[in-house]
């Protein structure tokens, strides 16, 4: 089953973007993800989640000039890592936060 969730504000961390001035950087992203179950005749063998696509906008504010730059983001050419170790069946399952690392071109989604 496929879902769509939005993350922004404190739920998004952006690292490693080379910027030569004092700045603030924020992002707002839409994550498409899937939930799956692996079934056997004796019951449920496993269940899991994984992100299938990420798009969004990044806003960079220059502290010296107060000018804002907007970047449209998509995951083309990026690695998506899904961190699922904290999933508990008694809690809702959805992306909790994400990290975007420009140096390694890795997006980590924490479910």
Residues in the chain: 111
Quote the pTM value. Answer: 0.88
Q: pLDDT for 64-84, tens place per residue?
A: 999 999 999 999 999 999 999
3-state secondary structure of 17: coil
Residue 104: strand pairing partners: none
Q: pLDDT for 39-53, tens place per residue?
A: 999 999 998 999 999
Neighbours of 92 (CB within 10 A): 7
Domain residue ranges in the chain: 2-110
């Amino acid at each position: 089953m496929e879902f769509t969730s939005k993350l922004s504000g404190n739920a998004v961390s952006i690292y490693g973007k080379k910027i030569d001035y004092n700045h603030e950087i924020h992002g707002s992203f839409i994550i498409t993800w899937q939930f799956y179950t692996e079934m056997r005749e004796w019951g449920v063998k496993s269940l899991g989640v994984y992100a299938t696509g990420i798009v969004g906008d990044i806003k960079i504010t220059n502290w010296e000039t107060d000018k804002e730059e907007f970047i449209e983001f998509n995951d083309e050419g990026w690695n998506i890592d899904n961190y699922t170790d904290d999933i508990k069946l008694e809690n809702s399952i959805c992306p909790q936060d994400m990290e975007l690392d420009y140096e390694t071109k890795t997006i980590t989604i924490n479910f």
